[in-house]
């Protein structure tokens, strides 16, 4: 389900509506593959989130729906599931939940279907695979790109792969449950390093996410101002990111550089990274505003 071009995104919008419609008509849960930020924005557009509905009522704000889903790993069953953000989407006649395997996952699955109406709960079909060198002493220094390239070279579609967390010379790869056995059995080498794969079934095995709490000085909580301060860009460089469609707030593409951030907003910038906006802290003697952010490293 990976999509890049405008035409592919339009086809993906139709796919989302088909999944929602099938869930409603057949009384079952339907799932997308893992969605990139652009595809999550496409999901919002397909379901009419963040804009006026035809009946004049406001739809649910996309940034509220697409905040990183809270939840975690169920070590007993080996299933990744959590308290995903849910929302009743009346005009597509189904409920929507998003989850990527961990809290604050960037690539997430969409699940269509309301547990209350269906009368049962179905976890997201997500698995996690640990990739580690056979001989760590002779392993290359491997990056996210190295692991992703080796996986895609197996012929696996990008939509079957979620986030990849690199931990030293190892990596934790979230993937669809159906893809997990294939990945375990067929991934044998990353660059020049021979590797072995196994499925992670215990939450204690997952590495702690690396974050950094910062306080940055800004003129205002405008998105372009905070982005510039976090990644030490000039105001012009920051503003140029918005028309290039590289900035996402709460999973929704944000082209308005003057958008005022709210506490709890997650801001992702392609090529830079992601941070959680923690709100205003205090003002300096010179009247500068100091805001808090949590940067994901």
Distance, CA of 59 to CA of 272 (rounded, Å): 30
Same structural domain, 149 and 133: yes
Same structural domain, 62 and 113: yes
On whether residue 40 sits in a domain, the answer given is yes
Distance, CA of 173 to CA of 183 (rounded, Å): 10
Same structural domain, 151 and 221: no
- Helices (DSSP H) in 153-274: which residue ranges? 180-186, 223-230, 235-240
**What one-character DSSP code corresponds to residue 108?**
B
Q: 225: how many CB neighbours lie within 10 A of its CB?
A: 23
On whether residue 239 sits in a domain, the answer given is yes
Same structural domain, 185 and 244: no
Let me know: does 130 contact 142? Beta carbons within 8 Å: no
Q: 136: how many CB neighbours lie within 10 A of its CB?
A: 11
Q: Which domain holds residue 174?
A: 126-205
Which residues of the chain fall short of a pLDDT of 70? 1-4, 49-94
Q: Where a domain ends, among 63, 95, 118?
A: 118
On whether residue 1 sits in a domain, the answer given is no
The interaxial angle of helices 6-26 and 37-47, nearest 10 deg, is: 60
Residue 223's CATH number: 3.10.290.10
> Which pLDDT belongs to residue 62?
35
DSSP, collapsed to helix, strand or coil, labels residue 261 as coil
Same structural domain, 137 and 109: no
Same structural domain, 264 and 198: no
> Which pLDDT belongs to residue 36?
92
Backbone angles phi, psi at 133, to 5 degrees: -70, 145
DSSP element (H, E) containing 63: helix 62-65
Q: How many domains does the chain have?
A: 3
Sheet order of strands, 189-190 included: 161-167, 170-176, 126-133, 193-199, 189-190
Same structural domain, 197 and 223: no
Same structural domain, 184 and 227: no
């Amino acid at each position: 389900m990976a999509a890049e071009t405008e035409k592919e995104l339009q086809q993906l919008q139709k796919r989302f509506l088909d999944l929602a419609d099938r869930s409603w008509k057949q009384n079952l849960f339907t799932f997308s593959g893992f969605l990139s930020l652009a595809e999550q924005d496409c999901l919002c557009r397909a379901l009419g989130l963040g804009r006026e509905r035809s009946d004049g009522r406001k739809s649910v704000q996309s940034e509220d729906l697409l905040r990183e889903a809270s939840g975690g790993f169920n070590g007993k069953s080996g299933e990744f599931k959590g308290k995903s953000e849910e929302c009743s989407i009346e005009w597509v006649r189904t409920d929507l939940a998003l989850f990527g395997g961990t809290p604050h996952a960037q690539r997430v699955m969409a699940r269509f279907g309301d547990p209350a109406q269906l009368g049962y709960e179905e976890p997201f079909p997500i698995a996690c695979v640990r990739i580690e060198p056979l001989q760590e002493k002779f392993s290359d220094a491997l990056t996210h790109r190295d692991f992703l390239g080796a996986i895609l070279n197996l012929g696996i579609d990008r939509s079957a792969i979620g986030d990849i967390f690199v931990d030293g010379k190892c990596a934790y790869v979230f993937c669809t449950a159906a893809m997990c056995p294939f990945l375990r059995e067929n991934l044998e080498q990353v660059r020049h390093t021979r590797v072995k794969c196994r499925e992670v079934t215990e939450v204690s095995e997952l590495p702690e996410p690396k974050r950094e709490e910062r306080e940055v000085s800004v003129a205002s909580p405008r998105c372009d101002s905070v982005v510039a301060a976090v990644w030490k860009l000039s105001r012009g460089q920051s503003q140029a990111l918005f028309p290039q469609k590289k900035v996402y707030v709460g999973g929704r593409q944000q082209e308005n550089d003057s958008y005022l951030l709210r506490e709890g907003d997650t801001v992702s910038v392609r090529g830079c990274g992601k941070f959680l906006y923690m709100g205003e802290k205090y003002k300096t003697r010179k009247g500068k505003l100091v805001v808090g952010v949590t940067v994901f490293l």
